[in-house]
Structure 1
């Protein structure tokens, strides 16, 4: 539970964060751009070369650092992450969200929901999360790059489940219980198996980024050990809503790195560093990794947190209609859009102030806007700002 003293601290931190964010309005008009980026411009990172130290692995590290700086994302071809494991995990979550939502809509209490732990474990029903208001950052964007999310933000029409991945030291939400829902005997195995694959990908990406930035290999990854890592799938009922619904409002993530596997339905849009909006299509055999606000903070703005939203789009509807036809023909399908998402964090006591070792890359004056703060303080202020902490 959050004490009054902790809440007062959170209020002050949130005010400071909003001031800093409003002072970091990036170039946003079409006239300021020399070109428009696209997903095709983002290189695919060959992770196998790095893992096996094949010729050219150093180039792959440079590719990671460059891609995070230029685009805020990585297209990560990791041979350890198999698509069938992602499919098994998505099917599990489809069944869970379908079952649990019926209980919720019937007005029954959800035993898997833990608001007393800021929803950092177990299920979060729809209309709980709400993004910060980033209207000032996007109001001058051309129509094709505008978010479809509403401003001021509305509550997200998505469910979420938080599943802890890895060990945590005392003081890092270690007291949060691991919530295992009833009626899913293979839950722990499937969630942990896929979660560890995605977490390993983010650790490897952190190592490669460090080397690409001419730092020691464990510069970032050593600070991730013991972090409050979470496999955090979201689910949205495609029968209940329709085109135009905001499933996840325009936002950035708190994490150091967010890792996504492929979803069965389109709807995820991201903004590259030049504020080009692109629909995400993850190539076969690849993961999508996006920088979070912790990475932006510790790199002094050399890497910017990536903005994104999930919208029930026309393409989502078309894919849903195909699934409905399969259901009508007798196939065992569930009409939920499930994400495959993992948040990797730095350890709670880590100072995420801009690193002096990176001063050759970031603008020193701009970096002064990123104040001294720990990973835990950063997490708590963001949870407060996005309505996740029970008052």
Structure 2
């Protein structure tokens, strides 16, 4: 369904765009989201210090991917953060949309409890299928946990805690779970947010050739789900992590306020 949607004409897809809601429902077009690694000087210094073979690819501008945010789970009836808890957007011509998105989203969150965003992500490999093309630049996720379904096309790289860069291969029937910044916050830095990128590789090129032979869609779809701490809850080190040596770095902040700060940095809140 998402391959069909992302293959739709540009002028149809942008009807589901909601920039005034920080793109937190509906579609985010390509070349909108700016990766923090492009503008965060501290992160750039850390990248330069990495061994050459573990350094991420450097994007030359905003990400080339599209993304569709679909809320999973009940919304709070009373919240300070209406933009982060807005009504869903359903494209015309997709009668199966709500049932399909809800069905897959609830399957993915069966292991966790939080307010969530199912975010199928699409990259047009017909346009951006060349090797070393950066589809999603080096970044962490701002939420609590991120769950990825297996994509038909390779290209996801992650960084281990020791700094080693690893190409991800998700086994059929399995999901990949990555840590986000909110879990780093509540553990006082004990569990750090995972870094990742999506870049065209020779394996991506092989998958593109096979898809062409089989006359399949060349949209790379990743059925990602972002699990969040409730917007009005306070992020701070909890339990044993209050005594963590790094706990003082993670000052109490409302989760919704933190999300809005991050969205502003990555150009999803209208800040250039």
**TM-score of the superposition, structure 2-length normalised?**
0.92
- Check if 1:317 corresponds to 2:242: no
Pairwise mapping of residues 242-321 of structure 1 onto structure 2 (< 5 A)? Answer: 242-321=130-209
- Check if 1:127 corresponds to 2:31: yes
Pairwise mapping of residues 365-376 of structure 1 onto structure 2 (< 5 A)? Answer: 366-376=246-256
- Check if 1:194 corresponds to 2:104: yes
Question: Per-residue displacement from partner, 1:271-321 (whole Å, max 9, x unpaired)?
Answer: 011111101111232211111000001100110000000012221111101
Question: May I ask how many residue pairs the two structures share in their alignment?
Answer: 262
The one of 338, 352, 356 equivalent to 2:221 is 338
- Checking the alignment, whether the CA contact within 8 Å between 2:241 and 2:247 is kept in structure 1 is no
Corresponding position of 1:380:
260
The one of 57, 70, 75 equivalent to 1:148 is 57
- Checking the alignment, whether the CA contact within 8 Å between 1:149 and 1:309 is kept in structure 2 is no
Corresponding position of 2:6:
97
Q: Which runs of 4+ in 1 moved over 3 A?
A: 172-175
Q: CA deviation at 1:175?
A: 5.5
Corresponding position of 2:40:
none
Pairwise mapping of residues 198-237 of structure 1 onto structure 2 (< 5 A)? Answer: 198-201=108-111, 203=112, 221=113, 224=114, 227=115, 229-237=116-124
Report which of the two has the higher share of helix. 1
- Check if 1:354 corresponds to 2:237: yes
CA distance in 1, matches of 2:200, 2:49: 24
CA distance in 2, matches of 1:292, 1:128: 21
CA distance in 1, matches of 2:209, 2:52: 28
Q: CA deviation at 1:386?
A: 0.2
Q: CA deviation at 1:190?
A: 0.7
Partner SS for 1:378: helix
Report which of the two has the higher share of strand. 2
CA distance in 1, matches of 2:4, 2:88: 19
- Checking the alignment, whether the CA contact within 8 Å between 1:157 and 1:245 is kept in structure 2 is no
Structure 1 stretches lacking a partner, 5+ long: 1-91, 204-220, 328-332
CA distance in 2, matches of 1:181, 1:283: 31
CA distance in 2, matches of 1:371, 1:359: 11
**TM-score of the superposition, structure 1-length normalised?**
0.65
Q: CA deviation at 1:109?
A: 7.8
- Checking the alignment, whether the CA contact within 8 Å between 2:233 and 2:254 is kept in structure 1 is yes
Pairwise mapping of residues 61-100 of structure 1 onto structure 2 (< 5 A)? Answer: 92-99=1-8
Question: Per-residue displacement from partner, 1:8-58 (whole Å, max 9, x unpaired)?
Answer: xxxxxxxxxxxxxxxxxxxxxxxxxxxxxxxxxxxxxxxxxxxxxxxxxxx
Corresponding position of 1:56:
none
CA distance in 2, matches of 1:326, 1:300: 49
Q: Quick one: structure 1 residues 119 and 372, their matched pair in 2 at CA, closer, same or farther if it must change by over 3 Å?
A: same
Larger radius of gyration: 1
- Check if 1:176 corresponds to 2:86: yes
CA distance in 1, matches of 2:141, 2:166: 17
